[in-house]
A and B are shown apart, each in its own frame.
Chain A
Amino acid sequence: MADKVLMKGNEAIGEAAIHAGCQCFFGYPITPQTEVAAYMSRRMPKVGRVFLQAESEVAAINMVYGAAGAGVRVMTSSSSPGISLKAEGISYIAGAELPCVIINIVRGGPGLGGIQPAQSDYFQATKGGGHGDYRLVVFAPASVQEMVDLVQDAFDVADKYRNPVMVMGDGMLGQMMEPVEFKERPKKELPEKTWAANGLKGREKHNVINSLFLKPEELEAHNNKLQEKYREIEKNEVRYELYNCDEEMDLVIVSYGTLSRICKNAIKMLKKEGINVGLIRPITLWPYPVEAFDKVIDKTKNGFISVEMSCGQMLEDVQLAVNGRKPVHFYGRSGGMVPTPAEIANKIKGIVGGAK
């Protein structure tokens, strides 16, 4: 077993990527994720790999496109306004079916917003962001350890499906320190990158990295192929945690990331008052864990509450998953305001009606 080390979330991201065999990192400074780039600038040259600070996020994501197309493991990292700039490149990468890992350490928006933790990029991450019919796999870790594990998984999932994977955390997760362990990981069977544009390597024909299909029939066929792949991902890659969901519940919280840990504290507080609340914690935001709702729907008296650090972005996915079968409530703070356990507990008491 590997030793535990105390690491800041952002630095753990960098080390996890190095462990996963990330060959190239292209970044650009932005609070609250700059430590990822700073860490990579120190470590990547030491392990004989590439660190480059790009002139912008637009350039950084296109450097990712170049390296991913050449068949190497590559990562970039940013925070909300920077991810908006990367959106064009992400769409091209998804269209050209290239694997890469994109980190978003979310800060409050819209516009320049603030630098405090937020979850307000949920729509951007899960519903597009860039143009066209594409999907990102989106992982939402809740601890630095989970961040380390998911960053490494992200490289595997990206390679397996030839698709960009985003790992999304908030500024809290990026900035806090927790003990982490870089576990021995079994080697994954992954398809060979025979599509990479990295020289002929004995092949007869050049590999072409492209997302342009001018004939509508061809573009539709390409889109259908992408959709098939996304259905496959929905089948295989859904991840979630159920917490305190075994018995009859007064209400079920749906919450992800660091906020889900605050919700767990609210659940413990409520338990002392005789109110039993469960938690669905989506770990993949796309594909969304719809099946988790089916597992608990008959056990919750008052339905569900989406608790977010955004203004009801995940709420829509909760409503779709519940599909009218039970009531769906909402509690959200935004702009970098982090709810306290007591605040969440009070909101829940308002719904389920005091002590039972």
Chain B
Amino acid sequence: MYEAAHGRAPAVATGIKRAVPDSVVFTYQGDGDLAAIGTAEIVHAAARGERITTIFVNNAIYGMTGGQMAPTTLPGQVTETSPYGRDVKTAGYPIRVSEMISTLDGAVYVERVSVDSVPNIIKAKKAIKKAFEIQLQGLGFSLVEVLSICPTNWGLSPNESVKWLRDNMIPYYPLGVKKDATTGEVK
């Protein structure tokens, strides 16, 4: 296991995969990490069709640093650095990473899943398995975006958090396969 600098995991993973091509390499990244500071690295790893897998955990906030606004923070959402609610006039709009990555030819498989219920967790597991199979077959880049909760920094109980995810995140970040080049499916 490597610990990469904030946002740079896709570049580190590229280095590993290029040096040891028969290894299985994946990155595990938060939304601040992947969609803010690490946007260049993820876009270019996908564009190059790196044979790696990215597990992208989207909880709509910076968790580790204590709850600041992330690129995925929803309009109006209160965080430590959007204390009056995310104002799209000054802080812009959330990024739908899976849709964006799907536009790149090097990305072979992109799916958004959620872990808010048992059926969705089972779907998430299937998506992650598929993403790794794509890598094992040497087909190119795969990414699974996992909508998840952050009770501590959302200031909600775990149960309330699951509800908040369903009511607010899923409408903004629709679940499902965004691209599957093995079947030619692009949504």
Which residues of A pack against B, CB within 8 Å?
27-31, 34, 37-38, 41-42, 45, 52-53, 55-58, 81, 111-112
A29 neighbours in B (Cβ, 8 Å): 32, 62, 65-66, 68, 81
Select which of B6, B81, B84, B90 is within 8 A of A38 by beta carbon.
B81
Q: What mask results when residues 69 to 84 of chain B are scored 1 for a CB within 8 Å of chain A, else 0?
A: 1010000000011111
Candidate in A27, A37, A57 with the most chain B CB atoms within 10 angstroms: A37
Bound CA–CA A151/B23 (angstroms): 51
Determine whether B36 belongs to the interface, using a CB cutoff of 8 Å to chain A: yes
Q: How far is the CB of B41 from chain A (nearest CB, A)?
A: 11
What's the least CB distance linking A236 to chain B, in Å? 37
Query: 1/0 contact trace for B51-71 toward A, CB 8 Å?
Result: 000000000001001101101
Which residues of B sit under 8 angstroms from A30, Cβ to Cβ?
65
Query: Which listed residue (B5, B39, B68) contacts A37, Cβ 8 A?
Result: B68
Q: Which residues of A contact B37 (CB under 8 A)?
A: 28, 55-58
B156 within 8 Å of A by Cβ?
A: no
Secondary structure class of chain B's binding surface, majority of residues: loop
**B68 A53 Cβ-Cβ under 8 A:** yes
Is B3 on the interface with A (CB-CB < 8 A)? yes
Is A31 within 8 A of B39, CB to CB?
no
Task: Please tell me if the beta carbons of A55 and B39 are within 8 angstroms of each other in the complex.
Answer: yes
Q: Which residues of B contact A (CB under 8 A)?
A: 3, 5-7, 32, 36-37, 39, 62, 65-66, 68-69, 71, 80-84, 90-91
**Nearest Cβ on chain A to B162's Cβ, whole angstroms:** 25
15 CB-based A-B contacts, threshold 8 Å: A29-B32, A29-B68, A34-B68, A37-B81, A38-B80, A38-B81, A53-B69, A53-B82, A55-B39, A56-B7, A56-B37, A57-B37, A111-B5, A112-B3, A112-B5
> In the complex, which of the residues B39, B69, B81 has the most CB atoms of chain A within 10 Å of its own CB atom?
B81
Bound Cα distance A55, B81 (Å): 13
B83 nearest CB neighbor, chain A only: A42
Contact B82 A52 (CB under 8 A): no
Q: A29-B81, A38-B68 are in contact. List 6 more A-B contacts (CB 8 A).
A: A29-B65, A38-B80, A53-B91, A55-B39, A81-B5, A112-B3
- Are A45 and B7 in contact (CB-based, < 8 A)? no
Q: Which residue of B lies closest to A57 (CB)?
A: B37
| A52 vs B91: C-alpha distance when bound (angstroms) | 7
Query: B65 touching A41 by the CB < 8 A rule?
Result: no
Establish whether residues B39 and A53, one from each chain, have CB atoms under 8 Å apart when the complex forms.
no
Decide: B84 and A45 in contact? CB cutoff 8 A. yes
Q: Which residues of chain B are near A111, meaning CB under 8 Å?
A: 5
B36, A34: Cβ atoms closer than 8 Å:
no
Instruction: From A27, A38, A58, name the one whose CB has the most chain B CB atoms within 10 angstroms.
Output: A38
The 7 closest A-B pairs by CB, nearest first: A56-B37, A29-B65, A29-B68, A55-B36, A41-B81, A38-B80, A42-B83
Whether A52 contacts B39 by the Cβ 8 Å rule is no
